[in-house]
Structure 1
Amino acid sequence: MENTQLSEISKRIENDDENAFREIYDLFYFDLVAFSRQIVLDDAAAEDAVENVFIRLWQNRKTLGNINNLSAYLYTAAKYASINYLKARKNVSDVSIEDLDDQSLYSFSTPETSMIGKEEVLTIEKAINQLPPKSKLVFYLVKEKGLNCREVAKILNSSVRTVETQLYHSLKKIAAILEESQVILPRRSSR
C-alpha cells in the first residue's frame, strides 16, 4: 500500500475511525508478527509484542498526523517492543539486533514460489537462513516487505549505506549458494 493511502487511513484513525484502524491492523499484523518472531524467536511473544504496538497506536491515535511513514513506524515500534521483551526476559538493559541468536528461520511464500519446485524453494530458504541475523532482517524488510533502504536504516538504527552494503552482500551470498546448488545457472565471466 502506498504512503498516500496509509496517510489517508492514518487521518481516519486520528478521527477515531475504528474501521480504518482495523484496515491497518489487518494489513500489517501478520507481517509484523513474522518480523518480531525473527527477533524474539517465540510465536506467542511476537504476537504479544505486536498487539502491544497496535494498542499503543490506538491509544496515541491523535498524534498519527506527526508520522510521515506509517509502515516504517510500525516496523520500528515492533522492533523496540521485541527488544523490550528480550530485555525483560534476559534481565538485561541493552539488547541490539547484533546480539540476537541466529536461530530464526526464514521462510517465504509468494505467487512466484508456486512456480518454483519445492526443492528449489527449500534451497532458497536455506541460503537465506545462512545469513547473519541483521542481514536476514535487512533482506526480509527490503525484499519481502518492500521497504526501501532508507526506511530499513531508520528501523534498524543504521546508515543507509550499511543497509545497502548488507543487502548487496546478502544477495551475493544467496546467489553463490544457489549457483552451487544449481538452482540458478552460474554467471558467465565477461572475458
Structure 2
Amino acid sequence: MNLILEGIRNKNEQVFKTFFDSHYNGLVTYANGFLFDKEASEDLVQEVFIYIWENASKLNVVTSLKSYVYAMVRNRCFNYLKSIKVTDNYKLLEFSADLLAEHVVDTASEDDKKIVYHQILKIIDALPEKMQEIVRLKFIQNYTYLEIAEELGVSVNTVKTQLKRAKLKITEMIAVVLVLLDLKR
C-alpha cells in the first residue's frame, strides 16, 4: 500500500502538504501543456488535490499515486477542453504536452510555449513519410508497437527505432527553436 495515500486517507495534513508541495508545480506545468492557460491549469490542479483529499478513501490507485494524479490532471484537461469546445481528434495535445514538459522550462512564456507547440506539429509533418506514419499510428491512433509493426509489415524493433529517431529529431529541432526564442529576448 502506498504510504502517502495511506497518510492522506488518515487525514494526515502534513503528508498531504508534502505531497502537494512536491508535485504541484510539475502538475501545473503538465496541465499548461494541454491548456496553454496558466490560471486554468492552476485551478484544475488545485481541484485535483481537493478531490484527492476529500475522496482518498475511495481512490483505487493501482500504480503510484504520482502516476494516478498525472492521469487525473490529463483527463481533467481533456474534459476542460471539451467543455470549451476544443477537440483533439488526433491526440496531438497529449503528444505535444509530453514533449513540451520535456523541453520547455517552467519559466517559458505562454507565447513561447505556443510557438514550440506549433513547431512540434510542423516538425512531425516534416519527418520522413514512414517515420511520420509510425508517429501518427502511435500517438494519434494509440496503436501498440506490435499493431504498428503488423500494419506496416515491419518488425517491432523497427517501430521502436523509428519512434526513437523521431523523438531525437523532434528534440534536436525543439532545441534550435528554444535557442532562437532565447535569442529574441
Root-mean-square deviation (Å)? 4.4
Query: Which residue pairs with 1:107 in the alignment?
Result: 104
Query: 1 CA distance for matches of 2:26 and 2:58?
Result: 23
Q: Tell me, which stretches of 5 or more residues in structure 1 are unaligned?
A: 110-125, 136-152, 184-191
Closer/same/farther in 2, CA of residues 180 and 46 from structure 1, 3 Å limit: closer
Query: 1 CA distance for matches of 2:119 and 2:141?
Result: 23
Query: Which residue pairs with 2:111 in the alignment?
Result: none
What is the CA deviation profile of residues 73-128 of structure 1, one whole-angstrom value per residue up to 9, with x for unaligned ones? Answer: 111100111111111112x6x6456264999765237xxxxxxxxxxxxxxxx989
- 1:41 pairs, out of 20, 36, 39, with 36
Q: Is the 8 A contact 1:127 1:178 kept in 2?
A: yes
Q: Which amino acid aligns with 2:120?
A: L
Query: Which residue pairs with 1:72 in the alignment?
Result: 67
Query: 2 CA distance for matches of 1:9 and 1:157?
Result: 35
Query: Which residue pairs with 2:7 in the alignment?
Result: 12
Task: Give the number of aligned pairs.
Answer: 140
Q: Is the 8 A contact 1:37 1:46 kept in 2?
A: yes
Displacement of 1:159: 5.7
Query: Which residue pairs with 2:109 in the alignment?
Result: none
Query: 2 CA distance for matches of 1:132 and 1:70?
Result: 31
What is the CA deviation profile of residues 124-170 of structure 1, one whole-angstrom value per residue up to 9, with x for unaligned ones? Answer: xx98973349x9xxxxxxxxxxxxxxxxx9xx994664896786144
- 2:79 pairs, out of 80, 84, 90, with 84
Closer/same/farther in 2, CA of residues 65 and 179 from structure 1, 3 Å limit: closer
Query: Which residue pairs with 1:173 in the alignment?
Result: 169
Query: 1 CA distance for matches of 2:121 and 2:53?
Result: 34
Query: Which residue pairs with 2:91 in the alignment?
Result: 98
Percent of pairs with identical residues: 28
Q: Tell me, which stretches of 5 or more residues in structure 2 are unaligned?
A: 107-114, 125-137, 149-158, 180-185
In terms of fraction of residues, the more helix-rich structure is: 2
Q: Is the 8 A contact 1:13 1:20 kept in 2?
A: yes
